[in-house]
Structure 1
Amino acid sequence: MLDLFNLKGKVALVTGANTGIGQGIAVALAGAGADIAAVGRTPPTETEAIIAETGARFHFISADLGKGAPVSAVVEEAVMVLGRVDILVNNAGTIRRADALEFSEADWDLVLDVNLKTPFFLAQAAARQMLAQGEGGKIINIASMLSYQGGIRVASYTASKSGIAGLTKLLANEWAAKGINVNAIAPGYFATNNTEALRNDEQRNRDILGRIPAGRWGAPSDLGGAAVFLASRAADYIHGTLLPVDGGWLAR
């Protein structure tokens, strides 16, 4: 049974792996045997050091995922260095906060580009490579609690993560028969850079913790098991699913 979760021989392309959720997922995938191509603007030095201890291969691909540059080059570099791409984790994201009455077009466009446009075209490029390899693959998008709920003061973020939920289902519908599984993880409230403002707001922090049955903010490592599962053969018949990892938030 444990062999179902073995990722030995697989290559995972993970965006935004330098800190937080992306780091937690990249480390977990490497621990299960996958080699890692990490994509981002700055070298993920800490992530690379942790993964080195697992014995997995690691390669950093420098790319600004908010600039609209062709992402096919990202996949091409991963293949050139590591030989293939079997798993894509669309994790990189950004957030801007303002009342809807004051929200700027620039903040809208930036968040939608990073959180929705780039994940689609990166999934497209990865899927083309997976089909060329002839062995299928796994695509894991990172959704959010705001894929289910509206939130406040994060109009573009909510729109982007609602879009990720729909896009995950659309791509699953088109690619399931081709052997490519497309699913999403919906993290709850995690202690990351994106939630620093919430955690520093005493009232909001107290309100959020009061609703989480687990009684704590999530740690990036809490997402590792879900990522390994969806990237593995154990999830071969799972398509178009949003898997909440939320400490019970949605059950409350």
Structure 2
Amino acid sequence: MTNVNNSADFWAKYGIDNKQAAAKAADKASNDPNAMGQTEFLELMMAQLENQDPLSPQDNTEFIAQLAQFSSVEGIQSMNTSVNSLVDSFKSSQALQASALVGRKVQIDGNASMMKDGEGMSGAFTLPEGSRDVEAYITDSTGKVVKELDMTGYRQSDGSYPAGKVPFEWDGMDADGNPLPAGTYSVSANASINGVPTALASNVNVNVDSVTMGTGGQITLNLAGYGSVGLSDVKEFH
């Protein structure tokens, strides 16, 4: 808002001998005694014109500059209000979209996941060009191998595997077909790349338990048995 200066120098500068006319405009300002709105500014301007010395009128250049300055301030305030409103709307929309992820799975970098009874585990491996002899294993929290995953379904006719992401899925059973108890399980895979055994990068699909919105608008996903990650850490939504 534009500040009102009540000093004698201010009134003398604009040739206003009768302060009452201008004070009437200032009294209509908001609860802040130093704030002036558009209506008050126009009333003060009219008081200035009515009370100026006819023999020494207000300089047009300075007068126009006052109007331009006030208009600029009002425009900036209006723009700030619009931008803040837009930011608030964006944050609300983002929070609403993120809350819809609760109960769903997201894919993140990693190799461990909390398995619920009868649920199993899923994710993907990233295979470089020319990958061969791909092997993948599921291990329990002690590091014991409980199941070898069959990846031969992705093998091409020349024995190589396609470059890129190759999905995997485990049904929660051990090698003998017995269901394993709920808990944290890990997946690992390796392949022969140009004859060199190489560990493969993996992603796992994890349940979203809840969503947290920070004071700065940051969205954090709280994942079952994994911890918290930002939206930017999510590779895929399922």
TM over 0.5, shorter chain:
no
- Considering fraction of residues, name the structure with more strand: 2
TM-score of the superposition, structure 2-length normalised? 0.19
TM-score (norm 1): 0.19
Hey, which of these two has a bigger chunk of helix by percent? 1
Of the two, which has the highest radius of gyration?
Answer: 2
